[in-house]
């Protein structure tokens, strides 16, 4: 009580303050240049006090400055009164809290927008009803709750009211009746299931032209108002309401002589034939019936809808012949229709002559059951801008004639058709495509041109190198050079020609495509040198030239491509030393594949500059020298935590993000990685001529999942700290000249599931441990001086091993194990270290900000400490073992 009377007092005080300047003006003593009124300034401060401004949007609301200069506050230039308040903030960084009742002090407000904030189910202040000058009120998507205050009905000047996407559940709409100036009303998602007279109320608003009641749970059956439609209603949006064909709203629409121009009824529950009666709404220009369950065709009566411009029936169950549908629209509608959406139905038959549809700008036929050939008459649709015929079993040849007069064509989707595209290479198309998507057809062209997975063959026509995105992958193109160099397009960002039959030298005109970010030419038959003009691609992030036949040295101009993230040159015949600049000039490189080429020379230490690298594959070359000690600089590999996000390039393709795909040799097999690529971290230096010892520093790379150094000339011992590589799943050191014992810490790597140490000079006892026990003798064979399980050879001073089936038997297996000496003191020590290392490996980084490595050393230095960490049971068993 005390609080609210205080508030009243304050309001009154502010009111007095607010009156003063007005009176002043009345008496001719006001100063129009004073700017913000003190009372309004205080009201704004009060409004701010009730808001939680997590992102500092209202930081300007604090200065001593004129409040008319605050963010979102607009004053009248002559009177200085606040007339507009725009607090609409992007939905990502909303204001929170509540909307203050002091809002009512801003008496001159004509415009108020608080959309996209988060008022956490609080109520719209009742005092809003006193803002009698308000003309536009936007509360869209602001998470207001409870009731809509009936005081809104006092806003008789209101023209625009948006209450959509809040949590309102009103019992009635009577408060709407006095809003006689209202033109636009949106109440989407307001639950109107109990408001049976909604239509009667809105129909009486004399100026209402636009009504949006999407997802309102509208009642299907309600009393139909006795007055005819408000003549003013132009736009009626009743989508997502589960309406049926027996709904009262249809009865009213069909019989009230309404003059609705745009009618949106998509995602309702209309089932059966499309009612003839839609054609009685003669005024209709836009009729959207998508996402229902309409069957059959389009009624003949629609031919008489002479104003119809857009007819959308996407995603229904229509199933007639396209020819019949076209026939049923022929009369008047065919001349007016500009956009016809029939995609995602079961429409059959062939592609008809549409030349009488003289206004046609867009035609959507995707994903139906259309077949046969495309008639050349298509080429006469001179207004056509958008054409979707993808995912239909059309056959035959598409030639230049099909496009002869299509001067306005911008978007053409024809993928997944067995169509053959046949253009002469000197054809100058009449259009400038922006989006061409022909993948999976047989040849092609436009801004997004996607023609992948067609059977397009021959020369890539020059006109296709337009727009921003060109995907001609998975076709049978064999020639590129001439057409590429004839074209020039700095806005081309994405070019994918992979998986074709391109067999030529790569043309040297890349300076004509300086905007390229992603270039994929993999899996072709390109040969010769990588052209030096590739150095002009200064924006390039992904360069994939793998699986071709490129030869010679890498051009030094590639050092200009400093934004490279993904460089794949594998399976070519490139040669020369790995250039010095490769490490230094590409600080962002995450993936580097030079696998299977003829690179020679020493292992370059400057590769250690690649601090973001996650996949480094230099296998199958002739690289000599030793593995550099600075390898621990590859800090991305030292991180067991979050994967690198660099793979998700900021390149927006059809509104999804581009993700690099690659293949990684994994346990002797090739795996293709798309999204999960970012999770894999590996080094593969196998099949080179590397010599010297494996540097100790390699154990710092504890994020490494796969390490393959096999088939080299490496010598020395395996570092005793190998167990620090606690993420490792694959370790292959086979076919080297490694000597000494296998370090017992190897048993600490719980994740290890593929181990190969074959054909070295390793000696001594094979360490034991739960993970190591899963490997068979083949992991170790070719090391004559190794002994112990799983090799048949016993170590000196040991008994003959028991029958090897012991491990497989259950029951008293542990007893057997103890007898076998399988569980040795070493096992418990290993298990304990394993537990501690993994515990700290996972939590240590989070809790203490200490790495896996530090904990490990700390533990080894302080054996008593780690003994405490072992759980009670293990402890007891360990003591038993130690005593025995």
Ligand X SMILES: *[C@@H]1O[C@H](CO)[C@@H](O)[C@H](O)[C@H]1NC(C)=O
Minimal distance, residue 553 CB to ligand X, in Å: 15
Q: Does 143 bind ligand X (CB under 6 A)?
A: no
Q: In terms of CB distance, is 559 or 598 closer to ligand X?
A: 559
Q: Which of 25, 123, 321, 404 binds ligand X (CB under 6 A)?
A: 321
Q: Does 661 bind ligand X (CB under 6 A)?
A: no
> Per CB under 6 A, which region of 23-31, 65-73, 189-197, 739-747 contacts ligand X?
189-197
Q: Could you give the CA distance from residue 481 to residue 460 in angstroms, rounded to a whole number? A: 9
Q: Which of 53, 320, 504, 818 binds ligand X (CB under 6 A)?
A: 320
DSSP string, 614-672: SEEE--SSEEES---GGGGG-GGGG--SSPP-TTEEEEEETTEEEE--EEEEETTEEEE
Q: Could you give the CA distance from residue 758 to residue 763 in angstroms, rounded to a whole number? A: 12
Q: Does 191 bind ligand X (CB under 6 A)?
A: yes
Q: In terms of CB distance, is 147 or 359 closer to ligand X?
A: 147
Near ligand X in 149-178, by CB under 6 A: 151, 154, 169
> Per CB under 6 A, which region of 323-331, 334-342, 742-750, 875-883 contacts ligand X?
323-331
Minimal distance, residue 480 CB to ligand X, in Å: 20
Helix and strand element counts for the chain (H, E) = 14, 52
Q: Which of 69, 71, 177, 194 binds ligand X (CB under 6 A)?
A: 194
Near ligand X in 553-572, by CB under 6 A: 557, 560
**DSSP code of residue 426:** T
Q: Which of 237, 310, 312, 524 binds ligand X (CB under 6 A)?
A: 237
Which residues fall within 8 angstroms of residue 74, CB to CB, at 6 or more apart?
68, 82, 83, 84, 85, 86, 111
Minimal distance, residue 171 CB to ligand X, in Å: 8
Minimal distance, residue 38 CB to ligand X, in Å: 20
Q: Does 96 bind ligand X (CB under 6 A)?
A: yes
Q: Does 217 bind ligand X (CB under 6 A)?
A: yes
Which residues fall within 8 angstroms of residue 436, CB to CB, at 6 or more apart?
411, 412, 413, 444, 445, 446, 448, 449, 450, 451, 464, 467, 470
Q: In terms of CB distance, is 420 or 485 closer to ligand X?
A: 485
Q: What angle do CA 421, 422, 427 make, to 5 degrees?
A: 120
Minimal distance, residue 494 CB to ligand X, in Å: 20
Q: Does 264 bind ligand X (CB under 6 A)?
A: yes
Kindly provide the b/e burial profile for residues 809-823, where b requires at least 16 CB atoms within 10 angstroms of the residue's own CB. Answer: eeeeeeebbbebbbb
The answer to whether residues 228 and 256 touch, using CB atoms and an 8 Å cutoff, is yes
Q: Does 585 bind ligand X (CB under 6 A)?
A: no
In angstroms and rounded to an integer, the radius of gyration of the C-alpha atoms of the chain is 37
- 442: Cα separation from own chain's centroid: 29
Q: Which of 185, 325, 406, 521 binds ligand X (CB under 6 A)?
A: 325
Residue 40, classed as helix, strand or coil, is: helix
Q: Does 90 bind ligand X (CB under 6 A)?
A: no
Minimal distance, residue 108 CB to ligand X, in Å: 13
Q: In terms of CB distance, is 209 or 624 closer to ligand X?
A: 209
Q: In terms of CB distance, is 191 or 488 closer to ligand X?
A: 191
DSSP string, 439-490: EBSBS----EEEEBTS-BEEEPPGGGS-SSEEE--SSEEEE-HHHHHH---T
Residue in this structure with the two tokens 């903030």, named with its chain if needed: 89
Q: Which of 25, 84, 120, 422 binds ligand X (CB under 6 A)?
A: 120
Residue in this structure with the two tokens 């370090």, named with its chain if needed: 743
Residue 110 CB-density burial (10 A; 0-12 exposed, 13-18 middle, 19+ buried): buried
Q: Does 350 bind ligand X (CB under 6 A)?
A: no
Q: In terms of CB distance, is 311 or 627 closer to ligand X?
A: 311
> Per CB under 6 A, which region of 126-134, 367-375, 694-702, 781-789 contacts ligand X?
126-134
> Per CB under 6 A, which region of 291-299, 625-633, 659-667, 872-880 contacts ligand X?
291-299
Q: Could you give the CA distance from residue 452 to residue 399 in angstroms, rounded to a whole number? A: 18
Cα–Cα distances (Å) from 196 to 145, 206, 217, 249, 258, in that order, read 22, 20, 11, 11, 20
Q: Which pair of structure tokens corresponds to residue 185?
A: 């009303």
Q: Does 369 bind ligand X (CB under 6 A)?
A: no
> Per CB under 6 A, which region of 25-33, 222-230, 607-615, 836-844 contacts ligand X?
222-230
Q: Could you give the CA distance from residue 512 to residue 167 in angstroms, rounded to a whole number? A: 54
The neighbour count for residue 803, using CB atoms within 10 Å, is 9
Q: Does 147 bind ligand X (CB under 6 A)?
A: no
**Is the bond preceding 648 in cis, omega lying within 30 degrees of 0?**
no
Q: Does 300 bind ligand X (CB under 6 A)?
A: yes
Residue 611, classed as helix, strand or coil, is: coil
Q: Could you give the CA distance from residue 321 to residue 311 in angstroms, rounded to a whole number? A: 17
Kindly provide the b/e burial profile for residues 739-748, where b requires at least 16 CB atoms within 10 angstroms of the residue's own CB. Answer: ebbbbbbbbb
Binding mask 493-532 for ligand X (x = CB under 6 A): ---------------------------------------x
> Per CB under 6 A, which region of 1-9, 212-220, 422-430, 578-586 contacts ligand X?
212-220
Q: Which of 345, 406, 327 is nearest to 374 (CA)?
A: 406
Using CB under 6 A, count the residues that bind ligand X.
Answer: 46
Cα–Cα distances (Å) from 845 to 518, 641, 747, 833, 840, in that order, read 36, 9, 22, 17, 7
Q: Does 235 bind ligand X (CB under 6 A)?
A: yes
Q: Which of 101, 125, 297, 352 binds ligand X (CB under 6 A)?
A: 297
Q: Could you give the CA distance from residue 609 to residue 626 in angstroms, rounded to a whole number? A: 17
Q: In terms of CB distance, is 268 or 855 closer to ligand X?
A: 268
Kind plus residue range of the DSSP H or E element containing 412: strand 411-413
Q: In terms of CB distance, is 328 or 734 closer to ligand X?
A: 328
Q: Does 257 bind ligand X (CB under 6 A)?
A: yes
> Per CB under 6 A, which region of 201-209, 320-328, 456-464, 492-500 contacts ligand X?
320-328
> Per CB under 6 A, which region of 175-183, 187-195, 570-578, 770-778 contacts ligand X?
187-195
> Per CB under 6 A, which region of 238-246, 394-402, 789-797, 836-844 contacts ligand X?
238-246
Q: Does 130 bind ligand X (CB under 6 A)?
A: yes
> Per CB under 6 A, which region of 43-51, 197-205, 236-244, 791-799 contacts ligand X?
236-244
Q: Which pair of structure tokens corresponds to residue 485?
A: 């160099």
Q: Using CB under 6 A as the criterion, which residues of the chain lie in contact with ligand X when the complex forms? A: 77, 96, 120, 126-127, 129-130, 151, 154, 169, 191, 193-194, 212, 214-215, 217, 226-228, 231, 235, 237, 239-242, 256-257, 259, 264, 296-300, 320-321, 324-325, 328, 532, 535-536, 557, 560
């Amino acid at each position: 009580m005390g609080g609210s009377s205080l508030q009243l007092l304050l309001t009154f005080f502010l009111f007095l303050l607010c009156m003063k300047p007005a009176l002043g003006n009345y008496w001719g003593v006001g100063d129009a240049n004073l700017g913000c009124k003190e009372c309004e300034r205080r009201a704004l401060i009060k409004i701010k006090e009730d808001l939680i401004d997590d992102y500092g949007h209202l930081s300007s609301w604090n200065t001593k400055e004129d409040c008319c200069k605050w963010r979102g506050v607009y004053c009248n230039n002559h009177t200085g009164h606040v007339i507009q308040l725009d607090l609409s903030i992007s939905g990502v960084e909303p204001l929170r809290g509540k909307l203050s009742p002091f809002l009512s002090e801003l008496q001159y407000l004509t415009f108020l927008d608080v959309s996209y904030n988060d008022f956490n189910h609080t109520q719209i202040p009742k005092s809003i009803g006193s803002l009698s000058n308000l003309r536009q009120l936007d509360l869209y998507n602001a998470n207001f709750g409870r009731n809509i205050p009936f005081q809104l009905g006092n806003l008789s000047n209101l023209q625009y009211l948006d209450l959509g996407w809040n949590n309102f559940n009103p019992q009635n709409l009577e408060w709407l009746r006095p809003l006689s100036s209202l033109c636009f009303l949106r109440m989407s998602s307001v639950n109107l299931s109990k408001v049976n007279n909604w239509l009667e109320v809105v129909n009486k608003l004399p100026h209402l032209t636009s009504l949006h009641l999407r997802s309102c749970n509208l009642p299907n059956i309600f009393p139909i108002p006795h007055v005819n439609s408000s003549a003013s209603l132009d736009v009626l949006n009743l989508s997502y309401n589960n309406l049926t064909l027996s709904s009262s709203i249809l009865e009213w629409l069909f019989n009230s002589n309404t003059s609705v121009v745009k009618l949106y009824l998509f995602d309702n529950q209309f089932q059966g034939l499309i009612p003839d009666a839609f054609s009685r709404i003669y005024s209709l220009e836009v009729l959207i019936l998508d996402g229902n369950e309409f069957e059959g065709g389009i009624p003949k009566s629609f031919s008489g809808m002479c104003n119809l411009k857009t007819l959308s029936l996407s995603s229904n169950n229509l199933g007639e012949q396209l020819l019949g549908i076209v026939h049923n629209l022929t009369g008047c509608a065919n001349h007016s229709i500009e956009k016809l959406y029939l995609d995602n139905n079961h429409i059959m038959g062939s592609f008809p002559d549409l030349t009488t549809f003289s206004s046609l700008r867009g035609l959507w036929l995707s994903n139906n059951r259309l077949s046969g050939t495309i008639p050349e008459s298509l080429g006469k649709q001179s207004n056509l801008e958008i054409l979707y015929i993808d995912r239909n079993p059309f056959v035959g040849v598409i030639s230049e004639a099909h496009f002869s007069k299509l001067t306005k064509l911008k978007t053409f989707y024809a993928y997944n058709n067995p169509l053959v595209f046949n253009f002469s290479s000197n054809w100058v198309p009449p259009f400038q495509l922006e989006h061409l998507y022909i993948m999976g057809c047989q040849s092609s062209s436009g801004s997004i041109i996607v023609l992948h997975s067609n059977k397009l063959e021959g020369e890539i026509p020059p006109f296709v190198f337009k727009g921003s995105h060109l995907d001609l992958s998975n076709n049978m193109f064999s020639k590129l050079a001439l057409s590429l160099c004839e074209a020039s397009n700095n806005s081309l960002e994405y070019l994918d020609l992979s998986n074709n039959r391109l067999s030529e030298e790569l043309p040297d005109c890349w300076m004509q495509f300086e905007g390229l970010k992603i270039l994929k030419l993999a899996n072709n038959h390109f040969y010769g040198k990588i052209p030096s003009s590739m150095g002009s691609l200064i924006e390039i992030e992904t360069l994939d030239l793998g699986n071709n036949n490129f030869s010679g040295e890498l051009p030094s101009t590639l050092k200009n491509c400093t934004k490279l993230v993904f460089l794949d040159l594998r399976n070519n015949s490139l040669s020369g030393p790995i250039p010095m600049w490769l490490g230094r000039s590409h600080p962002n490189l995450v993936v580097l594949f030079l696998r299977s080429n003829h690179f020679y020379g020493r292992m370059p230490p400057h590769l250690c500059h690649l601090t973001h690298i996650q996949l480094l594959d230099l296998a199958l070359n002739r690289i000599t020298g030793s593995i550099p000690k600075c390898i621990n600089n590859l800090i991305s590999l030292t991180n067991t935590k979050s994967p690198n996000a660099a793979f998700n390039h900021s390149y927006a393709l059809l509104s999804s993000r581009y993700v690099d795909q690659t293949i990684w040799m994994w346990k002797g097999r090739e795996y293709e990685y798309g999204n999960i690529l970012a999770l894999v971290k590996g080094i593969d230096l196998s099949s080179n001529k590397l010599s010297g010892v494996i540097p100790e520093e390699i154990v710092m790379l504890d994020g490494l999942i796969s390490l393959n150094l096999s088939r080299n000339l490496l010598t020395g011992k395996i570092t005793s700290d190998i167990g620090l590589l606690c993420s490792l799943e694959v370790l292959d050191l086979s076919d080297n000249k490694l000597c000494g014992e296998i370090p017992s810490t190897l048993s600490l790597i719980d994740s290890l599931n593929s181990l190969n140490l074959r054909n070295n000079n390793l000696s001594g006892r094979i360490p034991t441990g739960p993970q190591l026990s899963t490997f068979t003798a083949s992991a170790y064979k070719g090391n004559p001086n190794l002994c112990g399980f799983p090799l048949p050879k016993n170590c000196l001073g040991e008994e003959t091993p028991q029958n090897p089936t012991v491990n497989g038997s259950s029951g008293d297996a542990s007893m057997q194990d103890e007898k076998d000496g399988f569980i040795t003191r070493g096992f418990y020590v290993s298990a304990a270290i394993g537990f501690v290392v993994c515990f700290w490996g996972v939590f240590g980084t989070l809790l203490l900000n200490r790495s896996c490595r530090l904990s490990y050393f700390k533990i080894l230095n302080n054996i008593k400490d780690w003994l405490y960490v072992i759980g009670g049971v293990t402890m007891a068993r360990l003591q038993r073992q130690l005593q025995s």
